[in-house]
Amino acid sequence: MNKFQQIFLHVAVWAFLIVLFMFMTTRGSINHTTIIVFIYFGIINISLFYINFLLILPTFLDRKRYLWCGLAIVVVILVFAFIKCGLAYYFYDVILTRVEGDKKTYINFWEYFLITVLVSGFFIFLSTILKFIIDWFRNEKIRSNLENEKLISELAFLKSQINPHFLFNSLNNIYSLAYQKSEKTPEAVLKLSEIMRYMLYESNENLVKLDDEIRYVENYIELQKLRFKEQVHIRFEIDGDTHSKKITPLVLISFVENAFKHGIATDKDNPLTIVLNVKSDKLFFQVINKKSNLNKDDTGGIGLQNVKRRLDLLYKGQYRLHIEDNEAVYNCELYLNL
């Protein structure tokens, strides 16, 4: 809402309140003098409202000068009370005179002065409440923006860790092939280039097509197969409608990478199993591998810790991760609301 719209809204609200209060107090018996009186007092009360809202509270309250703030409010209320009393005596017959049948009663100065103080205090109270509400929403917006900036920064940092981590492991595999002078080395380099293209250029969005992410996992599996001399036994099952779904990029790969890194993929009786199932907007992803006693990570990997943190940030309350880790098998199950 721009400034012009805000000013228009304020003017419309005050005009409505003045007219409403005028009809309620006069019971429809409105004349020229009554309109002038209500306009005068309306302007005075509105001025009091904005003096407190725009001047006193920002000057003293925002700077935590509470005593000066209280004194300023008291002074302003008293000054405006005397102004209202002077205006009341000017329109004596309209404001200070009450007619009940044929009998007239008059409001004395101190009685009316007390009424004006209470009314002024009410407008001060309204402007103070409005100030607190606006400041609360403004602070909430600032806090939300800071949290979003922190979230974006943390996600960018986590994602920046994925590429070097993956590249480090893949280059180790290709180095092994090259050292063995394997004919698979060129194909491995080609697969790695395709994978890195996806990681660098196609996974920069918050969400990517699930089919693209599956293709990326498949390319990774093909790259891993090239480093084995023995036949690799992998069962990759995909079920459900994956074409119209989207997912945060580079979430699934860490579980597959972990299976290859610490598991056995050459056991015919215990194949490395990857299952992906989509029903409605729910994804089930499972990776099961027989554990190897040889593939130990002495430096401690960051892959799974990384993806857990990303899931916490992006899918908080929308996912469940179950990991079964025993002496023989490592079973990872991810339930995710897409």
The CATH number for 226's domain is 3.30.565.10
User: How far apart (Å, rounded) are the C-alpha atoms in residues 177 and 186?
Assistant: 9
Q: Whole-number mean pLDDT of the chain?
A: 80
Q: Do 65 and 193 share a structural domain? A: no
Q: Do 312 and 235 share a structural domain? A: yes
Is the distance from CB of 278 to CB of 241 less than 8 angstroms? yes
Query: pLDDT band for position 237 (50/70/90)?
Result: very high
Give the model's pLDDT for residue 294. 66
Give the model's pLDDT for residue 93. 65
Q: Is residue 173 part of a domain?
A: no
Q: Do 312 and 231 share a structural domain? A: yes
Least confident of 46-55, 68-77, 163-172: 163-172
Give the model's pLDDT for residue 160. 56
Q: Is residue 162 part of a domain?
A: no
Q: Is residue 12 part of a domain?
A: no
Q: Do 317 and 210 share a structural domain? A: yes
**Comparing 324 with 176, which gets the higher pLDDT?**
324
Q: What is the mean pLDDT of residues 80-91?
A: 82
pLDDT in tens, 166-224: 677 678 878 877 887 877 788 888 888 888 788 777 767 778 899 999 988 998 888 88
Give the model's pLDDT for residue 91. 73
State which amino acid sits at residue 79: V
Q: Do 192 and 117 share a structural domain? A: no
Give the model's pLDDT for residue 283. 94
Q: Do 134 and 192 share a structural domain? A: no
Give the model's pLDDT for residue 98. 66
Query: What are the helix (H) ranges across the chain?
Result: 3-26, 32-50, 66-90, 92-95, 109-179, 185-197, 210-225, 253-262, 303-314
Q: Do 327 and 202 share a structural domain? A: yes
Q: Is residue 211 part of a domain?
A: yes
Q: Do 331 and 243 share a structural domain? A: yes
Question: Is-above-0.85 flag for pTM?
Answer: no
Give the model's pLDDT for residue 37. 66
Q: Do 89 and 203 share a structural domain? A: no
**Comparing 4 with 299, which gets the higher pLDDT?**
4
Bridge partners of residue 278, in order along the sequence? 240, 283
Q: Do 331 and 186 share a structural domain? A: yes
Q: Do 188 and 283 share a structural domain? A: yes
Which residue, 144, 171, 196, sits at the end of a domain?
A: 144
pLDDT in tens, 261-305: 888 888 888 899 999 999 988 999 999 998 877 655 544 445 677
Q: Is residue 50 part of a domain?
A: yes
**Comparing 73 with 327, which gets the higher pLDDT?**
73
Domain that holds residue 105: 31-144
Q: Is residue 251 part of a domain?
A: yes
- 139 pLDDT exceeds 90? no
Q: Is residue 87 part of a domain?
A: yes
Q: What is the mean pLDDT of residues 111-130?
A: 87
Which residue, 114, 144, 174, sits at the end of a domain?
A: 144
Q: Is residue 11 part of a domain?
A: no
Which residue, 144, 163, 191, sits at the end of a domain?
A: 144
**Comparing 335 with 302, which gets the higher pLDDT?**
335
How big is the chain by its Cα radius of gyration, in Å?
37
User: How far apart (Å, rounded) are the C-alpha atoms in residues 308 and 114?
Assistant: 65
- For the chain, how many structural domains are there in total? 2
Q: What is the mean pLDDT of residues 60-87?
A: 87
**Comparing 84 with 239, which gets the higher pLDDT?**
239
Q: Do 117 and 213 share a structural domain? A: no
**Comparing 41 with 26, which gets the higher pLDDT?**
41
Tell me the two tokens of residue 177.
């092939």
